[in-house]
Structure 1
Amino acid sequence: MKLVSYKANDEEQGAIEIGGKLIPLLALNDHFHFHYETTVFSLLEKGQYESLKNWYVHEGKEALANPHLPFLEEWVPAPLYRHPRKIWGIGMNYRKGDEDQFASNTVAPVSFMKPDTSLIGPEDLIQIPPLSKNTTAEAELALVIGKTCKEVSEADALDYVAGVAAALDMTEADIHAENLRYLTRAKSFNTFFSFGSELVSLDEYPCLDDIYVTTLQNGEEQHTNRIGAMRYNLAYIVSFHSEVMTLLPGDILLTGTPGAVVLRDGAVVACRISGFSKQLENRAINKEVHA
């Protein structure tokens, strides 16, 4: 199942995407006499996501083949939601070249937090901080937690994941270079986390290892890699964080990037992920250039 957040007048609403069109959750409720929450975050928070997905898998695909339903063929994308309880990420997670894919991971991953004040959505502007000469952007696959969990095993971890989303993680790299302990500060500027509009459930993928994540700049592919090249796999990332903290529905875990690009005024950076209908794009702006 693919859920999408879109802008409807002054509100942001949820919908199911099927065949390149949207059926809003409001319309779904009206037509089928359901009582689902109508935003993606409230659907997760109220524990209704699994029920909706089960309906979609067993009945919904066929039911939504009805061409007379009130589908949207055009829409303005919005971030899946704007105020998750947590945004955590890990770094340096993709192997490159001839690195041993079977090497054991004996060191815990580098991790960091981002505040929800850093969150923007598709097509919003990334604001390069004043005097910054080295703001970078990285395409990442984001895990979205679907059910509360604590101290979950790797074997069970993905059962608590609602799906995956596209993300762009920005860093003021000069601050980080000044001192490696400044990583979270370097990643916490306003507009430094772009969150995509699509939530794709894991059952949409025959093999998670074959998902490709790509960083693009100005329409050109800069870095790409597959999930199977990760040092710390998706299940490990969930389990690792749950050892320390309770993970809640809607929490976001960033899983690393195949590579970063340096942003300049006017540059368009994008995240492309296999199985998504659209890539996540944002333009960077340096207000000093336009002062």
Structure 2
Amino acid sequence: MTTQNLAELGITESILDHPKLVYTDASGKKHKPLGVSINETVFGVFPGTALERGWITYMNIGEPLIEERSSLAQPPPDTLSARVYVNRDTTAPRKFEDTVEFSISNTFSWSVQGTLQLTLGAKESASLQKMIQTQHTVRQSYKESGTDTAYTVQEQATGQAELSGELMLALTGSVSGSLTTSWTSRSTVSGDLVANSRVETRATQRRVAKNYSYEIPIAFAGHFAVNYPVKASTLTPPQDYIAEGVAVVARNIADIELVRDSKFRQRGAAESVSALAVEHTVFERELLTADEQQLHKKPKQG
């Protein structure tokens, strides 16, 4: 637990006035601490630090509990390309070729919300989604001269979303992050276009969205040090029992009741949006028929 975490938790010089840290001697007289040290941080007057004595306070970040939202309406397909190729030659065939470039992607984003938010640090991370799996299907449907061919490709991408944003104390807000895996690809359809005909091509891409809610359990544990103006009785390990007492005493971090008996859950929401499938289609060939129109005015005779 860092100095920044202590500030986020509201632990300042006022900890010297914490009622749970007041020592009552055998005569009933009460003594407030002269100083307190938590890890490397010192409040008031303290000889050295708690860390130098081997007394450490820490946060333990548990495994996220993830729940996927059901009955989520999916977005409609996106039209990437719609083209028409026309051969107006009345005798000779022509070739056509239709190429579409597109991206396959998976974006996983998350936001942390709550009234108590802590900086978890770059190395202390929570795996919100252990594996981000992206499957995409590229389908070509080609109908020309009575043929119909198709192929399917599937790939996987994995990633781990790290929860390492700076989160502030007593602020109801959200800190967002995202992880994207993506790659580009190309699809080409081609064929012969007979005389006096046309053909239409279309490429569409499908997106799939998923929503999650999650909770990250965080617990505080360990010991800190309190410096009294008198010799106080030792209360707990890791300090050895000394009958006559000592001025610097080890105390359990739970004694100052940080958050809900030293435990709370960080809540948030997450979403994944995947561009999964591209369908590149060539529709049936259409013949162009000549339409002889009557003249509006007939030419004069003679």
Q: TM-score, normalised by structure 1?
A: 0.22
Q: Quick one: higher RCO (CA 8 Å, sep 6+), 1 or 2?
A: 2
Which structure has more helix as a fraction of its residues? 1
**Which of structures 1 and 2 has the bigger CA Rg?**
2
Which structure has more strand as a fraction of its residues? 2
